[in-house]
Structures are given as C-alpha cells and as structure tokens.
Amino acid sequence: MREDTRSRIQEIALKLFIEQGYEATSLREIAEELGVTKAALYYHFKTKEDIVASLADLRVADMEELLAWFRSRSNTPETRRELLLRYADKLTNRRYLEIARFMERNQTALRDHPKIHRMREVMLELTSEINDPGDPLAVRISRSMALFTLHAGKWMAQDEKLTEEEISEAALEVALRLMEP
C-alpha cells in the first residue's frame, strides 16, 4: 500500500510538473490533487526535490541495469543491436516518457539537481561502453547518436499525426542504422 501511495504521488507530481512547470507547482497543489493533507504527503516526500530524486532514481536504476547487462557481454554488433532494442522498449513505458517530457520542459530548474546529473553520467557511461577506443570518431559519434535518436524521434515527430508506435518504430529504424554505420 505504501508503494502504491508513493507511485500515485509521483504520478500526480509528474503530471503537474509537466503541465505547470516544476517551479510553479507546490507540494500543497500535489496534496490537493491527490486528495490528501500535506502531512500525508510529507510522510512519503518532504520536498519537491525528493519527488524529483525518486523519479530520477527510477530512470537511473533502469539505465544501470541496462549498462550492467551490456557489460556482461561481448561488445559485438549483435549485443549493440540488442541494447538498442532493450533501450527502445524502456522508452515506450509511459512513466519513462513522462519523466523525459518533464525533464525536457524543466531543464533550467533541474540543471543542478544531483540525481539528474547521475542520469546524465549513466547515459554517458552507456555511450562510452558501446564504443571501442580504437573506433574512428565518426563511428563513435554515430553509435552514441543511435541512443539519442530514440529520444529525438519522440520530439521531432510530435506535431505529425502519427501514433507513438509509428514514431518509435521509425526512430528505432534510424537508430539501428546509426549503431552499425
């Protein structure tokens, strides 16, 4: 039950952070939207920063799991392909998409948040792992861009009348081409 409440708080906070902006959203508003007192909210999260940290921790845990999986295998074209497929699958998770939207819309407010820095570090570790030091620079850039393409597709095609699935499939197609130039 406690985990359900935490998840519900995260869900509502994320919704309000996306709609209103992180800085413009108060804990009081989150509590009201949930239909609980601020004291009940404080039991789970003392500050908005705690909520952001918990959201970032979810993404970091996913990324670290993916990184550990990749490190446990040989760096081959097949392993890199599987990594992209696994990462693309994670990005189709609704919560993951909402966290990405939240971060994109609140970059200034989150710029110095330590948990957000950790997310960036893990992503950089992942881009480093998929490359070998002896790879030509163009190959290293292409492979790194493959991961970012999965994100970029979401933002670039959002004005078109396409489904999330169509956008994800097109982004994955491009990412796979970039992974093995």
Cβ(13)–Cβ(51) under 8 Å? yes
Q: Is the pLDDT of residue 158 over 80?
A: no
Cα distance between residue 140 and residue 128, in whole Å = 8
Backbone angles phi, psi at 113, to 5 degrees: -70, 125
Taken in order 167, 147, 102, 40, is the CA torsion positive or negative? positive
For residues 154-174, give the mean pLDDT: 80
Q: pLDDT of 101-130, one tens digit each?
A: 787 777 777 778 787 888 889 989 999 999
Q: Is the pLDDT of residue 137 over 90?
A: yes
Backbone angles phi, psi at 177, to 5 degrees: -65, -40
Cα distance between residue 128 and residue 124, in whole Å = 6
pTM, to two decimals:
0.80
* Higher per-residue pLDDT: 93 or 89: 89
